[in-house]
Amino acid sequence: MVFSDQFPLDSKTPAPPEVMADVKPADLPRPKLVENDRSFGWITNKVCGIVEEKTPTWWWVAFACATSLASFTVIGLTYLVSTGVGVWGLANPINWGWAIVNFVFWIGIGHAGTLISAILCLLKQPWRTTINRAAEAMTIFAVACAGIFPVFHVGRVWFAWWLFPLPNANAIWPNFRSPLLWDVFAVSTYATVSVLFWYVGLIPDLASVRDRAKSKFRKIFYGIFAMGWRGSTRNWNNYEMAYLLLAGLSTPLVLSVHTIVSFDFAVSLIPGWHTTIFPPYFVAGAIFSGFGMVLTLMLPLRAIYGLHDLITQHHIDCMCKITLATGTIVGYAYTMEFFIAAYGANPFEIFAFINRAFGIYSWAYITMFTCNVVTPQLFWFKCIRERPHVVWVISIFVNVGMWFERFVITVTSLAREFLPSSWGYYSPTWVDVFTFFGTFGVFSTLFLLFVRFLPLIAVAEVKAVTPQADPHHYEEGEHH
Amino acid sequence: MAENITFGLAADFENPHTLMKAAKRCRDKGFKSWDVITPFPVHGLEEAMGLKRSRVPFFTFIGGATGFITGTFIAWYMNAFDYPLIVGGKPLFSPVFPFPVMYELTILLAALSTIAGMFILNGLPRHYHPVMKAKDFAATTDDTLRITIESSDPLYDSEKTRVFLQEIGGTNIQELED
């Protein structure tokens, strides 16, 4: 399909300049979104078939591993609740250790899902349709994992509801001048809106699964969640408007969430935290880490379920390029922080940054810089992007690097504050380690359940971007 | 009253192009109670059917405005009126510091009311509808494009409408029970 077919030139558009005839610009075909000209029926069968087939053995094995790993979080949290928050490695002067590192890490992962579903929807990027469902699921599960850390960090978890402005026996209210309260609003709104957006997208596909269901139980189960969707165009009219509005609402939301998370740091006066670059830098980092995770999840799924016609090389290319772009922005932010520290001539700030790169935590800084700035540069090369195994390994580097970024930001600044009398060194305890690594199990368990029970590709949306769904597609024979 | 009341007639169309042409014919013929059932949103079909712009944005605006006012109000009520709390020498109320709260509540309530609006305007959840009674209804959430014309339409006539559906290219014409 050539450009002019997608954006037909009407009679009012001026004719292309005469020079074009001599130049003969190359006809650059748009990459196909669905390979091998698959029919609507094929797409439905392929995606709904995954939900309908007998549970494969690999799924049971993966599920067993994931739940076992998740039990580590349960052990860590049980020990914490029964003993006290002191079992984590947090101690003066580093009162924010892995807890906030893991929180920011998981929240950041979620951002790619919303970027794909909302921002790319507004930018009319049709390639988003095959990956948005799974990426949004990733968002929701990542936010669920993120929520564990602040909720348990409050110590007496049964009072976690005091975070919300609800009347309680103490007769006082939360402090609206605190960025931590802003965070409560931002993260809870983000979780709610992400779930709603995901669910609205699922409705037409749940209707497909309902109508294909053989057993009574499946018919009722999927039927209830499909809300009686019948594909009426009068309904599609409202549905598409609602979807567009949700995309429009999610876009400022996703940008605000990591901005507000960065306020947790930036509104304080700690050297290394008190910088205005934090909001854009955090948002870029979040999208970067999220795309790393999307690649980590989608490449194995594509291989296991043979989804090569739906998640094509073009999709992988696009994701790699976004990872490269955001990784480079992150690298720019790292360097710019140093420049501003030097240019600002604040001795504490200068010290904070020299300490960050060359101090006691330089090992973490080097890991962060290598994983986040150096490795994604490999995505410049087509031969790298065309090798899914290599892309997958790089995506793991991105995940690791972004965890270290949050560690570097949080710990290096607290370990070397203004007064040498309040200097220290932070190490996590086994409870920290159990709780954090267990969240990968929690995340994987939820994701595996999603893959098993819900259509992992947005069937209706993919059909809508195929060439045969476009009424103008059939006119070609008549006009050309 | 007859035992089997007819809900209307349904006809299938080969591809989105013929469907679009047929929808325009139905619109121009003056049908009011009719619908197009498709497994995915067909671009431009709303226009071909003569549907008005969706009213969902109205709900979104109401929700968003409510959220913004709620956010402003709770920040003022809780920290400046009900229990004035002096923190760091900052003013008790200002539109600046609770802005993140106002912003998030605007988005939260706007999103909730958008979805509520979508369900209300669509009349969903409705787990039973006559079009679902067609034996091959499952095909319409897979790959079949279908036009239904309801018997409640003043222009409806079981014979003439059937002929009309054939004329505009419909196949597999069937009567839907109510």
A185 shares contact with chain B (CB less than 8 Å): yes
Q: Note whether A405 contacts B: Cβ–Cβ < 8 A.
A: no
Residue A245, token pair as written in the block = 């509005």
Q: How far is B4 from chain A (nearest CA, A)?
A: 22
Residue B165 belongs to a domain with what CATH number?
3.30.70
| Helices A233-266, B56-76: inter-axial angle, 10-degree rounding | 30
Domain count, chain B: 2
What per-residue confidence (pLDDT) applies to A479? 45
**B28 falls within a domain:** yes
In this prediction, residues A424-432 reach a mean pLDDT of: 88
Average confidence (pLDDT) over A18-23: 78
Residue B4 has pLDDT above 70, yes or no: no
Residue among B16, B78, B111 minimizing CB distance to A246: B111
Q: What part of A 413-452 touches B (C-beta under 8 Å)?
A: none
Tokens of A215: 């057993």
Q: Spell out which residues of chain B touch residue A475, defining contact as CB-CB under 8 Å.
A: 17
Substitution target in B13, B33, B40, B115 with the highest count of A β-carbons within 10 Å is B40
Would you place residue A13 in the very low, low, confident or very high pLDDT band (cuts 50, 70, 90)?
low
Distance from CA of B59 to the nearest CA of A (A): 10
- A197, B107 Cβ separation under 8 angstroms: no
- Give me the pLDDT at residue A3, please: 45
Would the CB atoms of B108 and A238 count as touching at under 8 Å?
Answer: no
Edge to edge, the sheet with strand B6-13 lists B34-37, B145-150, B6-13, B171-177
Question: Does any domain span residue B101?
Answer: yes
pLDDT tens sequence across B49-81: 888 888 889 999 999 999 999 999 999 998 888
CB within 8 Å of A13: residues ≥ 6 apart: none
Q: Out of A246, A260, A469, whose CB is closest to B16?
A: A469
β-strand B34-37 against B145-150: which pairing, if any?
A: antiparallel
For residue B109, the model assigns a pLDDT of 95
- Least Cα separation, residue B138 to chain A (angstroms): 5
Domain boundaries, chain A: 3-479
Tell me: ipTM over 0.95: no
Average pLDDT for residues A33-57, to the nearest whole number? 84
| Closest approach of A174 to chain B, Cα-based (Å) | 8
Q: Phi and psi for B134 in degrees, rounded to 5?
A: -55, 140
| Mean of all residue pLDDT scores within chain A | 87
pLDDT in tens, A144-171: 999 999 999 888 889 888 888 888 888 7
Q: Encoding tokens for residue A249?
A: 């609402």
Report yes or no on B93 lying in a domain. yes
Q: Which residue of A178, A246, A474 is in closest CB contact with B15?
A: A474
User: Which pLDDT belongs to residue B17?
Assistant: 85
Give kind and range of the element (H or E) at residue A161: none
Range name among A23-32, A177-186, A291-300, A342-351 with the lowest pLDDT average: A23-32
Distance CA(B134)–CA(B138), nearest Å, equals: 9
Task: Please measure the distance between the N-terminal and C-terminal CA atoms of chain B and give it in whole angstroms.
Answer: 13
Which pLDDT tens digit goes with each residue over A300-355? Answer: 988 888 888 888 888 898 899 999 999 999 999 999 988 998 898 888 889 888 88
Shortest Cα distance from B98 to chain A (angstroms)? 6
Considering the domain boundaries, does residue B44 fall inside one? no
Give the CA distances from residue A154 to residues A67, A77, A84, A94, in Å, rounded to whole numbers and listed in that order. Answer: 26, 12, 10, 16
Query: What percent of chain B has a predicted confidence (pLDDT) above 90?
Result: 24
pLDDT at A477 over 80: no
Listed range (A28-32, A115-119, A239-243) with the worst mean pLDDT: A28-32
Q: How many degrees, rounded to 5, is the angle at CA B111 between CA B110 and CA B114?
A: 85
Confidence of residue A125 (pLDDT cuts 50, 70, 90): confident
Considering the domain A3-479 in this protein, what is its CATH number? 1.20.1630.10
* Residue B95 domain flag: yes
Residues with Cβ < 8 Å from B98, sequence gap 6 or more? A176, B71, B72, B75, B79
Q: Is B37 helix (H, G, I), strand (E, B) or coil?
A: strand
Sequence-distant (≥ 6) Cβ neighbours of residue A248 within 8 angstroms: A118, A122
Contact B142 A212 (CB under 8 A): yes
Nearest Cα neighbor of A333 from A323, A345, A341 is A341
Give A238's contacts in chain B (Cβ within 8 Å).
Answer: 54-56, 117-118, 121-122
Two structure tokens written together for A474? 């059939």
User: Beta B145-150 vs B171-177: how paired, if at all?
Assistant: unpaired
CA A152/CA A129 separation, integer angstroms: 36
> pLDDT at residue A65 above 90?
yes
More confident: A3 or A24: A24
Residue B161 lies in a domain: yes
Domain that holds residue B16: 6-39+143-177
pLDDT at A74: 94
Q: Which three-class secondary structure state does DSSP give residue B52?
A: coil
pLDDT at A467 over 60: yes
Residue in A197, A234, A471 nearest the CB of B51: A234
Q: Is the pLDDT higher at A1 or at B128?
A: B128
Residue-wise DSSP of A14-75: PPPPTHHHHH-----PPPPSSGGG--HHHHHHHHHHHHHSPPPHHHHHHHHHHHHHHHHHHH
Q: Tell me which chain B residues have a C-beta less than 8 angstroms from the C-beta of A224.
A: 127
Residues B75 and B113 in one domain: yes
Residue numbers in A near B91 (CB within 8 A): none
Q: What is the pLDDT of residues B95-153, one digit of tens each?
A: 888 899 999 999 999 999 999 999 999 888 888 888 888 788 888 888 888 888 888 88
Residue matched to tokens 């050309």: A480
Q: How far apart are the first and last CA of chain A?
A: 13
Check A464 against B43: CB less than 8 A apart: yes
Per-residue confidence band for A124, with pLDDT thresholds at 50, 70 and 90: confident
Tell me the sheet residues that pair with A390: none
H or E, element range at B169: none
